[in-house]
Structure formats: C-alpha cells, structure tokens
Amino acid sequence: MSPPLPPRGLRALEIEPNVAGIGLALVVAAIGFDLATGGIFLTPRNLSNLAIQSSVVGIMAAGMVLVIGARHIDLAVGSIVGVTGMAAAVLQVEWFPVDAAWGWPLATFAALALGAGIGVWQGYWTAYRSIPSFIVTLAGLLIFRGLAYLWTDGRTVAPLQPGFERLGGGFDGAIGSTGSLVLGGVAVFIIAGSTLRRRVDRRRHQIPTRPLWADTVRICVGAGGILGFVAVMNAYTLPRSDIGRGVPIPVLFMLATAIGLDGIARRTRFGRHAFALGSDPAAAALSGVRVRRVTLATFALMGLLAGLAGVLTSARLGAGTNTMGTLAELRVIAAAVIGGTSLRGGSGSVVGAVLGAVFMQSLENGMVLLGVSSALRQICIGLVLLLAVWIDSATRGRRTI
C-alpha cells in the first residue's frame, strides 16, 4: 500500500481554519479601528496596553479550552481571580513586612496554590460526586466572590510591594528592549529549528512531509510576527526618554501559558484524554480513560491559571479590590468559543482561544477609543459571541451531513 500523498495548495500550510479565521478577523478589526480613530489604535502605546489587557483573559481562555473540550464549564473563574488577587494583596500588606524581599514571592505562590486548591475542590464535586459542573462552578462564583468580600470587609487593600507590581506590566513592568530582542531571536531560532527537525524526522520514518515552500512560509510568517511584535513593543518608550520598554511581563506569562497548554493539548496523554472525554464520555471510559482523574486535573489546572490571572490583575491595579475579575468568566468563555472551541466538547484550539481573547479586547479597546458607551459595547460583544457560536454550529452541522 502506497503512503498517503501530502496535502497540496494552501492546505499544505496545515493551518487550523478557526485560527486562520480569527487571525484574519483580528487583522481586519485592527485596520478598521486604526482608520476610524485616526491612527491611534495601531500606535505602540495602545498596542502595548492592548497586549497587557489581553493577557489575563488569554491565560484563562487557554485553560478553558481543556475544560470545555472535556464537556464541562467553569463559571467561577472570575471569582477565583477576585479571591486569589485579594489573597496576594492581603498577605503582602498584613502578613509580610513591606521591605521583605521574600514577601511578594511567597504571597504570589500562596495565591497560585489557593487557585489550584479551589480548582481541585470544584473538580472533586464534579468528578467524584457527579454534580454538573455548571452547578458546582455557579456555586463557586457566589462563594468565592463572597469570601473575597468578607475577608476584607469590602475595603481596598494597598499599597503592594514594588517587585510584585512589576508583574502587572505597569511602570518598569517589562523586560526592556535588549531582553526583548534576545527573547525574540531565541523564539525565531526555536521555530526554525523545530520545523526543520520535524521535516527530517518525518523523512527518516518515510512519513509525508509538507512541501518545502510551506515550511518556508511558516517559518517566515512566524519569524516576521515575532520580530514585528518585539519591534512594536520596543517602540513604546519610557516617559521622557527614548528607552524602549520591551515586552510586558504579563504578555510573557500569556505566551508561556499558551505554548505550554498547546503542547499539553496536542502532545500529551492528558490532553488527548480530555478531548476524548468531551467527544464521548461513555466511550472514553470504556477505552480506559480515567474520567474522574482527568476531570479533577482539568479543573485544578483551570484554578491554577485563574490564580495566576488574579495575581497579575492585583499587580496591575497595585491593590486588591473586590471588583477584580467581575464578569471575567463571560469574556473567558467567549474568547475560547470565538477561538474555535466547541461548546459540545471534544475539540478546541489553545492558540485560537488566545487570539480570541486578543480579538475580544481589541473590540473593547477600539470602541473605547471611539467613545462608544459601555452598554453599546456589551451589545456588540454579545452579538459577536452569538455569531461565532452560530458559525461553529453551522460548519459542524455541514461536516456531519
């Protein structure tokens, strides 16, 4: 039997349709808003702020891909952001000395542990007590938001330690122009090296490979995107100076999360089992998938990422407030769905979810620059979400016919 032929034409690029679609929509939206705002939208300053604003939602959207992919939902992520962000603030202000170099790292790790613990708690009720995740996380939404309020009697907790505030991407919250260039160069080298290594390995095992032009295009597009992003971030300078700020720290967390979870979803047993569970829970159980463990681990990971989002949020605000994470769950779920994750479970894209988060925040940012009212912004974002789900349902329906 002869080996299958490699794909031809644009299919040879092996780009996920959902990722390509949301990427194209993002480019169109950026150009449209830039023209409508007289060139303000695509300025380095606005793009840097947009990247920081997208980081928190992007981090949680990446984790939500696995949750929804396993045919579950987590409505408590916004409340987890609130309670973990408040925990990080309270520990710094009330437990650790202000001048202690170890204070804010301990507070950060404690907040992350709290988020993971909440995820385990919700996963336990879902996996081992057979309560639907919708009910468990809806209860969590109320419980943890209330705990954050009771913990401080509704007051704002500040000031936070300077080292901690850097994590939020504010003043001095970036890695600088030199560090950004080095990081960008390393990323380009990794992309080129991994592509060439994959090509050599597939040829060695006599597996069809992409055409050489397709690999070249993928490397050039990836390298161009990375170096272009670094150049834009370096073009945003510190106040009253010509020193480039570089890539903000929250963006690094988002990129690291996206790369890590994309690898988990595509290349690990846990990721495959999570999507298998979403495709058909009964069949997954019969095939040997440990349904309860996978469910518990999925919620624990989501809680950890929500805890990281809480840390970054409080660091960016420079305080712990009771409004942190309010309605964040809606934006996170919307970003995952817009990025191609099916609410029916069984499929999803981490890269698409992160792009969905950037797209959602771009809509919000662009409409703010245009002076659109808050109510109208919510209507527009809701319509975009409805359209994305309709397109997903329509395309999947055609595939099954």
Segment 149-167 mean pLDDT = 89
Kindly tell me if the per-residue pLDDT of 195 is higher than 70: yes
pTM of the model: 0.93
Residue located via tokens 């031809």: 8
Q: What is the tens place of the pLDDT at every residue in 18-66?
A: 788 888 889 999 999 999 999 999 999 999 999 999 999 999 999 999 9
End-to-end CA distance of the chain: 29
Q: Beta-carbon neighbour count of residue 395 at 10 Å?
A: 13
What would the two tokens of residue 157 be? 């907790």
Whether residue 275 contacts residue 346, with contact meaning beta carbons closer than 8 Å, is answered with yes
pLDDT (0 to 100) of residue 252 = 96
**Residue 365 corresponds to which amino acid?**
N
Q: Is the pLDDT at 200 greater than 80, yes or no?
A: yes
Q: In this structure, are residues 122 and 136 in contact, taking their beta carbons and an 8 Å threshold? A: yes
- Kindly report which listed range (11-20, 78-87, 159-168) carries the lowest average pLDDT score: 11-20
Outline which parts of the chain fall under CATH 1.10.3470.
11-173+248-400
334: left (phi > 0), else alpha (psi -120 to 50), else beta?
alpha
Angle at 385 between CA 384 and CA 389, to 5 degrees: 120
Q: Does residue 4 have a pLDDT over 70?
A: no
| Maximum mean pLDDT: which of 108-122, 169-183, 185-199, 241-255 | 108-122
Give CA–CA dist 323/61, Å, rounded.
Answer: 20
Q: 17 CB contacts (<8 Å, ≥6 apart)?
A: 340
pLDDT of residue 400: 44
pLDDT at 344 (0 to 100) = 85
| Residue 401: predicted pLDDT | 44
Q: Phi/psi at 251 (nearest 5 deg)?
A: -65, -35
Q: Which residue would you say has higher pLDDT here, 140 or 163?
A: 140
Whether pLDDT at 346 is above 80: yes
Cα(219)–Cα(88) distance, integer angstroms: 40
Whether residue 14 contacts residue 198, with contact meaning beta carbons closer than 8 Å, is answered with: no
Distance of CA 90 to the CA centre of its chain: 26
Whether the CB-CB separation of 78 and 328 falls below 8 Å is answered with yes
Tally the C-alpha atoms within 13 A of residue 159's C-alpha that lie toward its C-beta: 6
Residue partners of 83: CB distance under 8 A and separation at least 6: 114, 118, 144, 145, 147, 148, 151, 310
Task: State how far the alpha carbon of 157 is from the alpha carbons of 118, 125, 310, in Å.
Answer: 22, 32, 14
* Rounded (5°) CA angle 121-123-125: 75
> Could you give the CA distance from residue 252 to residue 308 in angstroms, rounded to a whole number?
12
Both tokens assigned to 17: 């349709």
Class of domain 11-173+248-400 as given by CATH: mainly alpha
pLDDT of amino acid 100:
65
Specify the pLDDT at position 397: 54
Task: For the chain, give the mean pLDDT.
Answer: 89
What pLDDT is attached to residue 201? 85
pLDDT at 98: 61
